[in-house]
Chain A
Amino acid sequence: MRTLTKSLVLGLLGSAALFVAGCGAALPPKELLDARSAYKTATEGPAAKESLVELHGAKQALDSAELAFLEKGDGQETVDRSYIAVRKAEFASAAARTAVAAREKKEAEDEAQRAQIDALKKTQAELANAKNDLSATRTDLTKTKEALEREAAARAEAEKRAAMALADLQKIAAVKKDDRGMVITLSGGVLFRTDKADLLPPAMVQLNQVAEALVRNNPDARIQVEGHTDNQGQAARNDELSKQRAESVATYLKGRGIAADRVTAVGRGSSKPVADNTSVEGRALNRRVEIVVEPPKESK
């Protein structure tokens, strides 16, 4: 039995040796080597993922070429089948590259579509913001217009009041306008005795009218009372007397309803004459009290 097994093994080995020796005589043709190489390249490339069906076709073509070589050696049939196997392997690789390109195209198109949608949304948002801005601007414009109208009305009212005040005061005193504001000039001779600062009774009547007009027409205006003298006597005395007279008038006005914080008094002495001091008439004009009503501040 052992002898039989040994003989069988030897026989098989001998057959294998003869088979190998026989094949060794026919080396694979270049076309088959190319086919093997092309298939290997295909399996190592994107075809392994992207084109499995085509790669399977390439494998079948290569197997067919290998079979032809085993059965019939390196003849024309092996060459033909190898030739076809090379094409099939390259076909699989090309199909894979095509699939990759198709995917890249789709991804780019999808991304472009998303970018277009985003751009559209951005434009819509900007449009909405612009509409809101426009609406806010319109509201501001309306408010500004209303404020301007109110301001114009207030200014017209103030001007009207000033005109009325001027008209009222012109009835009782000399009234003029200069860069200080409205100036009501009261003669010193009417208001005071010589070298005195106490108001005479007629002066009080006149000042009552002035105070009434100021309260009615200029309730918010600041008022400065300025005392003036002629140039007779000592300047220091004139300064003091003019100051005392201005304070007398200011105090009286405060007593007639004009807010104390709105009224100030200053003495100018003989420093600001309005007429020639060399004549009696001129000196009489220079002895005076001026009530300066400052123009109302511009509303902002």
Chain B
Amino acid sequence: MTKLFLRFALLGVSVAQVACAGNFPPPSERLSSAEAASRSAREMGAEKDPKAALYLKYANEQIDQSKALIAVGENRRADEILSRASADAELALQLAKEQSMRAAAKEALDKLKALRAGK
């Protein structure tokens, strides 16, 4: 009797877990968004700047991690990790933009100095 009760109890917990997982759909949109941000950062040259490259690495690792979680139905956790991944990718993109703009500003200043020097 006790064993039978325990079996029903475990079955109930499992059903509850599946039901919970089933309530949270796979975060496809957030995954796409995170992947797009990661791609943009890479295209902007994030891999060339050490700091941006680090955040891009974090983003990609977390995107991979979330994909694995989605595969086993851990959609809620995958969604949370994708939020982190997006924040990392967006930061990597901004850092890459900063480096690009700094380089352009330096080039403009060098050109100005050369003009002033009469070269």
A residues near B102, Cβ cutoff 8 Å: 97, 101
A186 to B56, CA, bound (A): 123
A87 touches B115 (CB 8 A): no
| Per-position binary interface string of chain A over residues 257-298, scored 1 when its CB falls under 8 Å from any chain B CB and 0 otherwise | 000000000000000000000000000000000000000000
Closest-CB distance, B33 to chain A (whole angstroms): 14
Closest-CB distance, A101 to chain B (whole angstroms): 4
Q: Which of B87, B90, B104, B115 is A112 in contact with, Cβ under 8 Å?
A: B115
B residues near A116, Cβ cutoff 8 Å: 115
Which residues, 91 to 125 on A, are CB-close (under 8 Å) to B?
91, 94-95, 97-98, 101-102, 104-105, 108-109, 111-112, 115-116, 119
Query: Given A84-B87, A94-B98, A98-B101, is A115 in contact with B112 using a C-beta cutoff of 8 Å?
Result: yes
Query: Given A108-B112, A119-B115, is A80 in contact with B104 using a C-beta cutoff of 8 Å?
Result: no
A146 to B98, CA, bound (A): 72
A108 touches B97 (CB 8 A): no
**Size bin of chain A's contact surface:** 20 to 34
B111 touches A101 (CB 8 A): no
A108 touches B90 (CB 8 A): no
Give me 30 A-to-B residue pairs in the complex whose CB atoms sit less than 8 angstroms apart, sorted by A's number: A76-B80, A83-B87, A84-B83, A84-B84, A87-B55, A87-B84, A91-B90, A94-B97, A97-B98, A97-B102, A98-B94, A98-B97, A98-B98, A101-B98, A101-B101, A101-B104, A101-B105, A104-B109, A105-B101, A105-B108, A108-B105, A108-B108, A108-B111, A108-B112, A109-B112, A111-B112, A112-B112, A115-B112, A115-B115, A119-B115
